[in-house]
Amino acid sequence: MSDLLSRRLAQLGERANLSLLSQCLHGIERECLRVDGAGQLALTPHPKNLGSALTHAQITTDYSESLLEFITPAEPDPATTLADLERIHRFVYSKLDGEYLWSPSMPCALPEEEQIPIAQYGSSHIGELKYVYRKGLALRYGKTMQCIAGIHYNFSLPEALWQAQQEAEGDNSSARDYQSTRYIALIRNFRRYSWLLMYLFGASPALHKGFMRGRPHQLQELDDETLYLPYATSLRMSDLGYQSSAQAGLTPCYNNLASYTDSLRRAVGTPYPPYVEVGTKKDGQWLQLNCNILQIENEYYSNIRPKRVTYSGERPIQALMARGVQYVEVRCLDINPFLPLGIDLSEARFLDAFLLFCAMHDSPLLQSNECGDCGDNFLIVVKEGRRPDLHLQRDGQPVLLKDWANDLLGQIAALADLLDQSQGSDTHRQALNAQQAKVADPALTPSAQVLAALQQGQSFTQFALAQSLSHAEYFRSQALSTAQQAEFEASVSQSLVEQSALEAEEHGDFDNFAAAYQASILALAV
């Protein structure tokens, strides 16, 4: 353990600071496809009895009308966050008629691309902007890739904790800059060590053959409809998932917040010739918001993002530049198809310890060679993570995955113990022990368990649909309380009223609105 980490842990262990660890905030965003009883993509519109996808705070859509997204509030205890997420699922299942929530991250059998419905958000300018942005995603990456689902885990440390550490370290920068610097340092360490999360929680070693759309690949055939890799942990996070030649040259630097925001701002303002050739409109109809490398900053695909809650009408980069980093969004987590929520409390407890480790550990700037190793380590683990004697690159030298994983878990244990001390429990240590067992025995990983189920004779569709039906029974077996149901019903009605009000108050035309939206990012250059 380094001297810096030791000092930070000692400070966190002081009685005045230990309580701050119980004030960390956690939020979850869970995506899932709606399917019919045969496991086919539901082509019905987003159910109106779930509210407005534009204005409902907890139930919306991601890329497609068929791709639901559930969003919890930020809570100090992830157990509360998961309880929030479960209530959302129970309410949604009270409204789904003959449809189900698809259990894994990789999609069900999909129809032809043109039949996959893009999410609609009404006639307001902001609703139209969200729709055109998704049309651009279809144009650039295809609709199939946009049907992959995942779990995003949002995590923050209390500002008082950052302030205590800044004072102890004698740092003279502003509180906002110190906090942002530390979050960016967390992200650098996350890039170094996130391969571990893919080994422990990757749950997509197989997919439906139709997902490849006839493209060449190196996957193996498990049955007539199922493709897989024998040691894969997360094909979702491999190069089979989100692919973009335009983004290939975009490598935002995580050496400081300014370099990160500058690189994204340039990408949103820099034309990309193949997109320029297509143009923004055809026959008067919008095709994409602009012809730049990114239409908007959220188009950049990353395993983790620095975030700040935005004001109405404010862009994410504007919020970061104005007020600094407030939390991080972990975006590489697969949905565990064996779990009704796709994630459980043990995983959340370990994520807290892992992220706290990333925040407190030394985090030197990433040099070019290390950047490459980080990416290579991640990609080899998602495709071959359970291969016996698999080696990764650490400090330019080969290291056995199992040895490095055990070393990291040994260091993370100190953070798990601190979290347990702050809450008077042993749940974080138990979560850590569960991960150590997976390192000792790869058969305990979710990816291995998925393959084990498939190798018993079930196709990908049969397995995923069976899990989906089981989860539906779980959620429907216990209805929400009358008060909880009424609260959701009221939120649905309110969201529809809010969307109608937005549409009624709209002025000007969409073209001018889109131009002003684009100008808002370009103005940040001056």
pLDDT digits (tens, 9 = 90+) for 172-209: 999 999 999 999 999 999 999 999 999 999 999 999 99
**Which of 477, 130, 476, 496 is CA-nearest to residue 299?**
130
Residue 161 has pLDDT above 90, yes or no: yes
pLDDT at 526: 40
Residue 235 has pLDDT above 60, yes or no: yes
Quote the DSSP letter at residue 318.
Answer: H
What is the C-alpha separation between 116 and 385, in angstroms, rounded?
Answer: 32
pLDDT at 245: 72
Q: Which of 68-77, 342-351, 370-379, 473-482 has the lowest mean pLDDT?
A: 370-379
- Expressed in angstroms, the distance from the first to the final Cα of the chain is 44
For residue 119, the tally of other CB atoms under 10 A from its CB is 24
Residue 344 has pLDDT above 90, yes or no: yes
Secondary structure of residue 75 in the 3-state scheme: strand
For residue 249, the tally of other CB atoms under 10 A from its CB is 10
What is the C-alpha separation between 250 and 255, in angstroms, rounded?
Answer: 15
Residue type at 428 in one-letter notation: H
Residue 263 has pLDDT above 80, yes or no: yes
| Helix locations, 334-426, DSSP H | 345-360, 368-384, 401-423
Is residue 311 in a domain?
A: yes
Mean pLDDT over each residue of the chain, to the nearest integer? 95
> Tens digit of pLDDT for each residue in 89-139?
999 999 999 999 999 999 999 999 999 999 999 999 999 999 999 999 999
Domain hosting 330: range is 3-127+142-240+300-525
Residue 327 has pLDDT above 50, yes or no: yes
Secondary structure of residue 331 in the 3-state scheme: strand
> Tens digit of pLDDT for each residue in 10-61?
999 998 899 999 999 999 999 999 999 999 999 999 999 999 999 999 999 9
pLDDT at 261: 92
Quote the DSSP letter at residue 109.
Answer: B
Average the pLDDT over 465-488 and give the result.
97
Is residue 427 in a domain?
A: yes
Cα→Cα distances 347→69, 73, 194, 336, Å: 20, 18, 14, 10
What is the C-alpha separation between 79 and 388, in angstroms, rounded?
Answer: 35
Query: Sorting pLDDT into bands at 50, 70 and 90, what band is 239?
Result: confident
Segment (H or E) for 49: none
Is residue 381 in a domain?
A: yes
Is residue 279 in a domain?
A: no
Long-range contacts of 306-315 (CB under 8 A, 24+ apart): 306/180, 306/183, 306/184, 306/187, 306/257, 306/260, 307/154, 315/520, 315/521
Q: In the chain, how many domains are there?
A: 1
pLDDT at 128: 97
What is the C-alpha separation between 378 and 117, in angstroms, rounded?
Answer: 32
pLDDT at 369: 82
Is residue 137 in a domain?
A: no
CATH number for 475: 3.30.590.20
What lies within 8 Å, CB to CB, of 339 at 6+ separation is none
What is the number of alpha carbons within 13 Å of residue 73 lying toward its C-beta? 7
- The rounded percent of the chain whose pLDDT value lies above 90 is 89
DSSP string, 274-287: HHHHH-SEETTEE-
Average the pLDDT over 427-451 and give the result.
98
Contact 140, 88 (CB under 8 A): no
What lies within 8 Å, CB to CB, of 177 at 6+ separation is 324
* Residue 311 in tokens: 């004001």
Is residue 286 in a domain?
A: no
pLDDT at 521: 76
- The rounded percent of the chain whose pLDDT value lies above 70 is 98
Segment (H or E) for 65: none
> Tens digit of pLDDT for each residue in 287-320?
999 999 999 999 998 899 999 999 987 899 999 9
What lies within 8 Å, CB to CB, of 438 at 6+ separation is 199, 200, 444, 445
For residue 424, the tally of other CB atoms under 10 A from its CB is 7
pLDDT at 409: 98
